[in-house]
């Protein structure tokens, strides 16, 4: 249980740091948020719990493919905000787009011979 609490505290602290920095330095906060820190930490936690190279390779490869459908959200949200849409509605639209793209990805990628 202590290990789980430690993982949660470290992961949460990184998110808190990024959001705190973003209040004063939006670009720097975005840089911190865009770093694959959570993915790297996830791989470290996974490796500590299951040091299996093939499992790690599958995880890292799948992470790459799942990042792709999340990227358009970061174009849609600022475009909607700049056109006067409220934050919560823009965020909801961005999340809906991401869900739709994840769904398309899970349908399309196996047809390319990739197994996520």
Series of mean pLDDT values for 10-residue runs along the chain (116 residues): 86 86 88 82 91 94 91 97 98 97 92 85
Q: Are residues 62 and 104 in the same domain?
A: yes
| Secondary structure letter of residue 35 according to DSSP | S
Domains contained in the chain, number: 2
Domain boundary residue, one of 15, 33, 51: 51
Contacts of 12-20 with CB under 8 Å at 24 or more apart are 14/38, 14/41
Q: Are residues 73 and 95 in the same domain?
A: yes
Q: Are residues 106 and 82 in the same domain?
A: yes
Residue-level pLDDT at 1: 83
Q: Report d(CA 97, CA 70) in Å as an integer.
A: 8
Full residue range of the structural domain in which residue 47 is found: 1-51
Residue-level pLDDT at 95: 97
Q: Are residues 64 and 47 in the same domain?
A: no
pTM: 0.77
Residue 84 backbone zone (phi > 0: left; psi -120 to 50: alpha; other: beta) = left
CB atoms within 10 A of CB 23: 8
């Amino acid at each position: 249980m202590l290990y789980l609490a430690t993982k949660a505290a470290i992961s949460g602290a990184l998110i808190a740091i990024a959001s705190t920095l973003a209040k004063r330095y939006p670009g720097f906060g975005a840089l911190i948020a865009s770093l694959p820190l959570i993915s790297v930490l996830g791989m470290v936690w996974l490796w500590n719990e299951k040091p299996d190279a093939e499992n790690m390779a599958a995880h890292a490869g799948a992470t790459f493919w799942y990042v792709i459908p999340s990227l358009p959200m970061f174009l849609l949200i600022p475009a909607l905000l700049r056109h006067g849409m409220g934050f919560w509605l823009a965020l909801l639209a961005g999340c809906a787009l991401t869900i739709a793209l994840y769904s398309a990805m899970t349908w399309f990628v196996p047809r390319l011979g990739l197994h996520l």
